[in-house]
Amino acid sequence: MADKTFMVQIQGLEKYFGEDKDRVHVLKGISLDVPEGSLYTFLGPSGCGKTTTLRCVAGLERPDGGEISISEKKVYSAAQRAYVPPNHRPIGMVFQSYAIWPHMTVFENVAYPLTIQRLPKTAIKKKVVEVLKVVGLHGLEDRPAPKLSGGQQQRVAFARALINEPKVLLLDEPLSNLDAKLREQMRFEIKALQRRVNITTIYVTHDQSEALAISDQIAVMHEGKLIEVGSPHQLYSRPKRRFTATFLGLTNLIEGRVLELGGNSNPGRLETNQGILSFVPATRLEKGQAVVISIRPEHIQVHKEKPQGLDNLVEGTVKDAVFMGDAFHCHIVVQDQLLRVHTHPFNPMTPGEKIYLHLDPQSCNGLPAGDTEGIEESNLGV
């Protein structure tokens, strides 16, 4: 079997900012591999080190340790004292403020990187026309930049990043300056464009729904460390770390202790304040270990009458229910805990109502309870 080809490889990346006592450790041994042709997202809260990692890949920041390769060529190595400057790395970049020049036309903006390389005019023209076709701006060459819509300006920034035919496209929160509606539309455009050009792309965002919508793989980051890497589906439905479960979408955490580990397609058993519950371990756990199960609000089934013969049934009282159009978002009091539950809009809930919740064991994802350092939890208490 042929090995998967990786376009960008990062090994043990270290970065500090500041001097002496003000020195802060910003990247703490980041290692990751970006498969060729994929859209790979760095996701994490503000300040966790996403931009710094991206700038290290671009060569705009000099790391303090580790290695970075692009297309199997080392562009940085602490051990080998190697550092390739940004203009010699095969990358194109789009920043948060996409910085297109207002005094230039579409053509001049996109041609700029080639103009400064002093390429012949005819060659420049050919390339610009080609790349404008790719981003869907063909025919708008002479339009002054300020006369473009927000979405079109975004495409100009992409065209300019692609004009040098880079091997890797680096995008740092490229949608954060757009309004909500356009942002959502541009997600699809970016994904479609990335597929069409088939260019390896590293995408930085703190917005988990954006990450879920566009990524092939997501690297979840927290406080300068890589927490977990996986496809959107893996990370949402079977996160291996507590931080991932709480950062990516809404979830309920129920604390407990392992009674039985299960195995051979049998679920494990857990002792909790809500009674004994069955669960599926997401990662290696030990008997007696303190764990949490994470279950998503939409994976909890509500029954108004007590159903017979169901495992993992708990009794609760509706605290409140908010109609959201496509669902009711409810808070349900269960013993000492408040659970979030999303129910079908045809199934209204009344505050004070007694109900039964079925926590399907397959949706009860068992995680180590530790791992909480610095994590804000959406635990509401009762």
Q: Which residues would be at the binding site for Mg ion (CB under 5 A)? A: 51
- Binding ligand ADP (rule: CB under 6 A), the pick from 11, 38, 41, 52 is 52
Residues 6+ apart with CB under 8 A from 75: 57, 59, 68, 69, 82, 83, 84, 89
CA atoms of 17 and 194, how far apart (whole Å): 33
316 contacts ligand ADP (rule: CB under 6 A): no
Min. distance of Cβ 48 from ligand ADP in angstroms? 4
AA identity, residue 281: P
- Binding ligand ADP (rule: CB under 6 A), the pick from 41, 49, 107, 202 is 49
| Candidate segments 47-55, 81-89, 188-196, 274-282, binder of ligand ADP by CB under 6 A | 47-55
170 contacts ligand ADP (rule: CB under 6 A): no
237 contacts ligand ADP (rule: CB under 6 A): no
Residues 6+ apart with CB under 8 A from 113: 160, 163, 164
Cβ count near 55 (within 10 Å): 19
11 binds, among ligand ADP, Mg ion, none (CB under 5 to 8 A by kind): none
208 contacts ligand ADP (rule: CB under 6 A): no
Give φ, ψ of 177 to 5 degrees: -90, 0
26 contacts ligand ADP (rule: CB under 6 A): yes
Number of residues that bind ligand ADP (CB under 6 A): 11
Chain centroid, CA 19 distance in Å: 31
Min. distance of Cβ 49 from ligand ADP in angstroms? 4
186 contacts ligand ADP (rule: CB under 6 A): no
**Residue least distant from Mg ion (Cβ):** 51
Min. distance of Cβ 63 from ligand ADP in angstroms? 12
Per residue, what are the HEC states of 254-317? Answer: EEEEEEECCECCECEEEEECCEEEEEEECCCCCCCCEEEEEECHHHEEEECCCCCCCCCEEEEE
Min. distance of Cβ 47 from ligand ADP in angstroms? 4
Catalog residues that contact ligand ADP under the rule CB under 6 A: 17-18, 26, 44, 46-52
